[in-house]
Amino acid sequence: MQLVSSLINLSARGLKDPAALDVLRQIRLRIRSISMIHEKLMKSGDLVRVDFADFLDDMAIHFFQFYKADPDRISLKLEVVPVMLPVGLAVPCALIAGELMSNALKHAFPGGRRGKILVGLKPLESGEFLLRVSDDGVGFPETADIRKMETLGMTILNALVAQIGGRLEILRDGGSDFRITFARRPF
């Protein structure tokens, strides 16, 4: 994965187009999310499951650093319960959380606006899990149907939610609150 990331960095060196550079940065961030899961697996000695709460904590910090988020302007709140997820579920969940954190860090707080991002994971009484990324920023447009948006990020998000057999909903009261409910399934 480090090799792929390095190749992307080399490819980006000659580019002047900000949109193309942003696409490559996003790809590099997605690769980093996957490699962080594998690092957790290697360090734990358990090559089948990952402590996803611990991973989310590290990932959120990495994303805040990657986007150079000012902690005096944008705060991070984690509400995660220790959960061991199989690697086949942890990787898509990592990419889902990453897409949503990226979206919040890039779009929720324009013009120096202050706010907070919440990242949560908890088991539900139904036996399912709730993965949540919310912000109190400008909010996701009321007219936007997240299942029909054709942006790369939303296309990836919808595909990953379908891959894990999850349900995606968005609450738009005072920001954006993305909630993904999914069952722990063997992968």
C-alpha dihedral, 104 to 108 to 112 to 116, nearest 10°: -60
**What confidence tier does 7 reach under pLDDT thresholds 50, 70, 90?**
low
Write down the pLDDT at residue 42: 73
Question: For residue 97, what are its two tokens?
Answer: 């959380």
CA-CA-CA-CA torsion sign (15, 32, 96, 174): negative
- CA-based radius of gyration for the chain: 16
Determine the average pLDDT of the residues in 90-118.
Answer: 94
**What confidence tier does 64 reach under pLDDT thresholds 50, 70, 90?**
very high
- The class (CATH top level) of 49-183 is alpha beta
Phi, psi of 176 (to 5 degrees): -130, 130
Write down the pLDDT at residue 132: 97
Q: Which of 130, 151, 126, 131 is nearest to 140 (CA)?
A: 151
Question: For residue 170, what are its two tokens?
Answer: 């968005």
Q: What global pTM score does this model have?
A: 0.84
Write down the pLDDT at residue 33: 78
109 CB-contact burial (10 Å; exposed 0-12 / middle 13-18 / buried 19+): buried
> Has residue 186 got a pLDDT over 60?
no
